[in-house]
Amino acid sequence: MSRIGKHPVPVPAGVDVTVDGQTVTAKGKLGELSFVVVDDIIAKLESGKVVVLPRADTRRARTQWGTARTQVSNLIEGVSKGFTVNLEISGVGYRAAVQGAELVLQLGYSHDIRYSIPEGITIKAEKPTAISVFGRDRQKVGQVAAEIRGYRKPEPYKGKGIKYGTEVVLRKEGKKK
């Protein structure tokens, strides 16, 4: 039995949620998102909360139960508050800047890396060594942050590269004579 799926998802004030068959749609101050629930799961709106239940007691239904509940929760949180992933850049001469609809990264290569910012995502570089990725779709925000980090992952000897704000880079000891 899913421990996550048992809990109904509360709908905050300012968010309008509709359940039409297998489609859950949420509208809020940041826009509109929708999610199609798999056929093994039932989603219903009851007294200001979205309840997710398995249709039958099958293995697939039980595995998708918690996943569907978390997807609906992310949908509602995304249109009300949004999601933010912070990235930190460390290294001599490594920096980032937003120019128009592009993020320009200088990461020690012979050329600048130009990353075009996707629709629905906002990227800010308050400092040259800090990047903030914001959006309403949690999957898209995480994907953009992972793509940016992939240009220069943090290396274990000097810690140079792009890392998540919460990430801890385990440092290794260098060569000894």
Q: CA-to-CA distance for 151 and 162, rounded, in angstroms?
A: 8
Q: CA-to-CA distance for 73 and 19, rounded, in angstroms?
A: 14
| pLDDT per position as a tens digit, 95-122 | 999 999 999 999 999 999 999 999 999 9
DSSP 16-42: EEEEETTEEEEEETTEEEEEEPPTTEE
Q: CA-to-CA distance for 126 and 104, rounded, in angstroms?
A: 13
Residue 82 has pLDDT above 90, yes or no: yes
Percent of the chain whose predicted confidence (pLDDT) is above 70: 99
Specify whether the backbone of 21 is left (phi greater than 0), alpha (psi in -120 to 50) or beta: left
Output the pLDDT for position 1.
63
| pLDDT per position as a tens digit, 36-62 | 999 999 999 988 899 999 999 899 998
Q: CA-to-CA distance for 97 and 122, rounded, in angstroms?
A: 13
Q: Residue 177's pLDDT band (boundaries 50, 70, 90)?
A: confident
Q: CA-to-CA distance for 52 and 150, rounded, in angstroms?
A: 36
Domains in the chain and their CATH numbers? 9-80 (3.90.930.12), 83-164 (3.90.930.12)
Alpha-carbon torsion 101, 104, 30, 11, what sign? Answer: positive
Element (H, E) at 114: strand 113-116
For the question of whether the overall pTM of this predicted structure is more than 0.85, the answer is yes
